[in-house]
Amino acid sequence: MPPRPPRSTTNAPRLSLHPPRGLVRVEAPDLLDGDHRDGEHYERLVLDGGDLAGITLQECVLEAVSLNDAELRGARFVGCSFEDLFAPVLRAPRSTWRETSLRGTRWGSAELYDTTFDGVHLDGGKLDYVNLRSAQLTDVLVSGCIIGELDLTGARATRVSLRDCTVGTLTLDGARLQDVDLRTSSFRGINGLDGLRGATIDEHQLLLLAPFLAAGMGLRVEG
């Protein structure tokens, strides 16, 4: 009998996501800043440039929604499900995303600094630049995504997993990581190598990181 592979000591994200049920389909909602909406289903909405600051959506489904350049500062999404969320420019700093799933997301520049992600699954998206500076990430799974630049400067991340993702540049200056699993994902470059403390990588990734580690330590490799 072949030996069992070593058991991982990295704690995985604890997700308890359930699709919202019993929703009311709303064809043309008049969403305003500060609104609180509960149990609604939106489809094919264009909210580009709208002022939705401080809005709260709870147990809602949003399908094929465009939020390009909409103001979402301080917005709250709790128990929601997003399908095909389109935003070449996403402005959602200091927002809260809790027990929420996002599938097929297409973001250009995503301003999500000082944001809270708690119990979130981001699945199968293409994201050019994601600014999560000083964000709080707890129990987050990012799977099957293509990300140009992921900026976690000063962020706190606990039980976060990047699974089967392709990332151009990962920036970790001043980040504090605990149980962050980077295995099965690829990175072309990493800034702020000290911020990798608390992350889990595989042997192949370690070999790929060797030039960055050597450069960070001022080592000259010859021969």
Q: What is the pLDDT along the chain (223 residues), one digit of tens a residue?
A: 444 445 678 999 999 998 899 999 998 778 878 899 999 999 999 999 999 999 999 999 999 999 999 999 999 999 999 999 999 999 999 999 999 999 999 999 999 999 999 999 999 999 999 999 999 999 999 999 999 999 999 999 999 999 999 999 999 999 999 999 999 999 998 999 889 999 999 998 888 888 777 777 788 777 7
What are the extents of the domains in the chain?
A: 47-216
Could you say which DSSP state residue 124 is in? S
Model's pTM, two decimal places?
A: 0.92
Q: Residue 3's pLDDT is what?
A: 45
Region 47-216: CATH code = 2.160.20
Q: Are 115 and 95 in contact (CB under 8 A)?
A: yes
Q: Residue 58's pLDDT is what?
A: 97
CA distance 51 to 219: 51
- Helix/strand/coil for 206: helix
**How many C-beta atoms surround the C-beta of residue 56 within 10 A?**
16
CA distance 74 to 64: 22
